[in-house]
Chains A and B, each alone.
Chain A
Amino acid sequence: MPETIDKVLHLILEKHQEQLLEKWVASQLHSGEFRSDLVREDELREQCASFVALFVKCFSQKPDTDVTDDVWAPMAALLTDIAKRRTNQGFTPSETATFVFSLKRPLFHLIKEQSQTDAQVTERLWEISLVLDKLGLFTTEVYLATREDVIARQREEMFELSCPVVQLWEGVLGLPIIGTLDSKRTQVVMESLLESLSSTQSDIAIIDITGVPVVDTLTAQHLIRTVSAAQLMGARCIISGIRPQIAQTMVHLGVSLGDVVTKSTMAAAIKYAFEFQGLEVNAKDNKYIGR
């Protein structure tokens, strides 16, 4: 690869920029792979025009393959925008990468027409190919990053959905936990429970772990800590819904809940909470009893 910039190649690119754009747009529109259901023609034309303009500009400044360089930053920004938009429009990552790769055909034609010798053609094709490949792969990376964002956001939302802090009665909060409690999740859940205790000034919180399949040492430790922290704040935590298998595993593992108040069911815990608050639940009329 030549160290010096191939000036002729840049002149060719600049001179035939318009023609290149027209050919590229036309080839895409008629390729059979054009998704007219997903993108409008004018939008495609606009994207192509920006891409070609930036490509010619950046390539003439730095025909390097390092697209993360500052010179290529506007191009990276454009591709990020295009890739994100296409992801939302429903394009597959291959289709988005193909958008970049499809420039090769009209571009190679142009180079072949305008070059003098075969050696020149090979060299120029190689050089341009390297850059276009990088740019195509870059769109795939953007696609992946976009997906990861979506996954992370969904996970956050599931977090919040799966462990709502609910008010069961005045001064009594409930926290039904469903699913496996990993360290991070426990921490988030417990933090929000303590905040809720404080903001609602509730005296008692019931943590119900009926929906938790496994309680390991670390989870137990988090539970105990939360109970102790609630106590320091002047509130009380009860743990309910410990299943027999879990009780067995906990004893086998040597996991101790210390002197935390535990109740077998949520109902028993609510009863305890009511008693603690000096409340009593009575049947209004005993005609329903025994039915």
Chain B
Amino acid sequence: MFRRRLAGALAAGMAAAALLTGCGGGDAADGPVTLKVLTWEPGGTEYWKQVKTSFEAGHPDIKLEMQSVPFDKYPEVQGPYITSQSGPDVMANNAGLELFDRRGAYVPLGDKAAEITKDLVTYSGACEGFDTAKPCYGVPFSYQGNVLYYNKAVLTAAGLDPEQPPATWDEFGAACEAVKKAGKTCLALGLSGTFPAYWDFPEIARNYLTEDDVRALLAGKLSWKDPKLVAVLEKLAEITTKGWANKNAPSITMLPDGADIFQRGDAAFAGTIISDAVNWDAFGKALGDDKLGVTRWPAVDPAAPLAQKFSGIEGAVYGVTQWSQKKAAGLEFITWLAGKENGELWVKHAKGQPLNKNVDKALLPSSPAFQKIQELVAQPTLHAGVMLSGPEADALARGWQQVTLGQLTVDKWAEAMQQALERSPTKKQTK
């Protein structure tokens, strides 16, 4: 009896719901195609306003409907779209493993990839296994990676030469001792979240891994108990156990807390990124362009094959979704994203590093730090950070926090990393 009542109630509810929605929707209007684009607005609101205006001006038959979601809530919105195979026509994901994990959502570009991306410096981060011969799922237009920014005034006050920042691990240690004596923090650091994995790990990893090792890391075939990776963890641990970083590093996040320590002039160094924010532009504004120096992270082993290279990664990759009814328009939009016009918008409004080779050089900023970054990025290699799965990135941060607080040894940390790798659903090795 009760069940029948329940079923009746359900049916009534459904009917009411159907009635309510009946009047909504209605897609089949003539006129321009409306493209729904899911984005977290990398580069900022202003840049995306420009994208919409410029693209629509050149393509009167396509309207863009931006669905902006805050970056840290993006997975919660995107996840359900992907599992239900419904939603926007164009979506974004970060290049590397994040994109590969979601490749089922995107239409591979196929033969068109080479044509669309012909003017880009690199686009392998949008392709399976970083191999442009394999399927590529979208189009990047920005370049990202990590450098070490430094405050020349703090180095000078510590009796160091601001034009000769430390280039090796030992020099860096000596510099940190000097900075500490002068009463400042050496390296501004926050160990919460995924920043340690994406911002610090690749910089140390470059001293121990080859490009093949990095690909093995992506495939889940390199064990965390491998001496090379244990050595990376040991060096990361040194940064905090030797007291080079701020005391509250284990409990703060790099953004905004860690970066703020550097911005207010309380730290000599900060390892952050080249595009978007907390970069040469933001720090230059806070400290003065002439006070801001930039260098590669110090090399543990300067002779290592990748030690003097730049771990670069394409920024957000935009792809057309499998379920879109407007795939042609979607393709047109992402093709435009890779082009010169958008590259110039990116430089101008997002203060970012463009991927398009043809961007007018006159548009590039004159900041000395930016010019120095141009030298650094000229020698690119793979970025080990974006090869880490979610569980690995999480375990890296938590392990580092505990090692810093003396609750964990580096060996146990390596074990935890290996367990995280084995738990990772997307790197599961088929038995």
Q: Tell whether A and B belong to one assembly.
A: no
